[in-house]
A and B are shown apart, each in its own frame.
Chain A
Amino acid sequence: MSAYQIAKLMYRLKDDEAAIAAWKADSEAVLAGYDLTADELTAIRAKDIRTLYAMGVHPLLVRPFSVVSGLAPAEYLKAIEGLD
């Protein structure tokens, strides 16, 4: 498990407009720069916020990633419902 790598990706995508643009243009090229497991890749590609959150990434990194992924605030809260 390398939740660190997921966190690192989300950290880069948090405020950096150029990084967000690159992600939206070619996410696979961006993902190639991270050491992610198959499960992590699957969750990221699916924008599976619940799974990513449950992997232990900090909420203030997951939430901005949900915004970049197109989720509304209510959708984000629904995705993580019941998780600590």
Chain B
Amino acid sequence: MAIVFACGAAHAPGIVAWPERAPTDQAERFHRVYRSMRPLLEAAKPDVLVAFTSEHWVNFFLDNMPPFCIGIGESHFGPTEKWLGMAQGKFPGDRALAMEILAGTQEAGFDLAFSEELNFDHGLIVPMMFLTPDKNLPIVPIVVNTVSHPMPLPSRCFDLGAAVGRVAQASGKRIAVMATGGLSHWPGQSRAGTINQPFDIEFLGALERGDAKRLRGYTAAEVALAGGGGEEVRNWIALAGCVQGWRGRTLAYEPVSAWATGCGLAVFEQAA
């Protein structure tokens, strides 16, 4: 089969843990759109979800920080943060597909780290709460280092996504792909609450145009303009590499100061 669905989704903890701090109409508008993505995903009837995502000092530390790590476990535990509001438990994995991706990306020049035990924090849990709250869709996480420099270059993320995409398109499964995180935000920093709307809008525009050259061409310095948390747009750039020729359709963009994040939601569709 092939890639049957693609989306990008914000994972700011405030979306689920302190929604009431945002203006009511803004929070409700964003939640309504986020909820609307679940039927879109389900209509595509995916067998598995491959997610380019970030983790935040849960699985990895400075003693051993992989640029990219794929979760090959039969299942994954989460959330590590009890306060997110989702019951802790297991999410099914897809070891066979993860091993296919490991082998296929190796052929493309990537030697991914892999983990049998990759725990999920809000980086995946927030999207899962909206998209697969029943924990019934197998997930293959690909964690991109977006917390500690040096981080993989955006171009490298794009190329990894392209390699994953080739494996997915050749797979016998119906595969959904997702990027989580971003857009601009400065979590834990003195500028927390600042949102670089021009960056976010330009970035979403590049996705909407399916502008592979622009997306692959983002420099690390440009990405840094989106803040410490904005480094996570690497995940979206990987997704863009994965579905080249597809165009993003922004479903929502809300700069939510109370959640300290430029929150984006987008689906990707094959250009006519």
Interface of chain B, main secondary structure: loop
**Which residues of B63-86 are within 8 A (CB) of A?**
63, 80-81
Question: Is B188 located at the chain interface by the 8 A CB criterion?
Answer: yes
Contact of A15 among B62, B80, B228 (CB under 8 A): B80
Contact (Cβ within 8 A) B190 A82: yes
Question: Is A60 located at the chain interface by the 8 A CB criterion?
Answer: yes
Please encode chain B, from 106 to 150, with 1 for each CB lying within 8 Å of some chain A CB and 0 for all others.
000000000000000000000000000000000000000001100
User: Measured between alpha carbons, how far is A54 from B147 in the docked complex, in Å?
Assistant: 17
Contact (Cβ within 8 A) A80 B190: yes
Contact (Cβ within 8 A) A63 B188: yes
Q: A4-B62, A11-B57, A15-B58 are in contact. Are A60 and B80 (CB under 8 A)?
A: no
Question: Is B192 located at the chain interface by the 8 A CB criterion?
Answer: yes
Please encode chain B, from 229 to 247, with 1 for each CB lying within 8 Å of some chain A CB and 0 for all others.
0000000000000000000
User: Measured between alpha carbons, how far is A15 from B84 in the docked complex, in Å?
Assistant: 13
Contact (Cβ within 8 A) B187 A58: no
- Interface residues, chain A, with chain B CB atoms under 8 Å away: 4, 7-8, 11, 14-15, 58-63, 77, 80-84
Q: Could you name 22 residue pairs across A and B whose Cβ atoms are closer than 8 Å?
A: A4-B62, A8-B61, A8-B63, A11-B57, A11-B62, A14-B57, A15-B80, A15-B81, A58-B147, A58-B188, A59-B188, A59-B189, A59-B228, A60-B147, A61-B57, A63-B188, A77-B190, A77-B192, A82-B190, A83-B190, A84-B189, A84-B190
Query: Other than the known A11-B57, A59-B189, what 16 A-B pairs have Cβ atoms closer than 8 Å?
Result: A8-B63, A11-B62, A14-B57, A58-B147, A58-B188, A59-B188, A60-B147, A60-B187, A60-B188, A62-B188, A63-B188, A77-B190, A80-B189, A83-B190, A84-B189, A84-B190
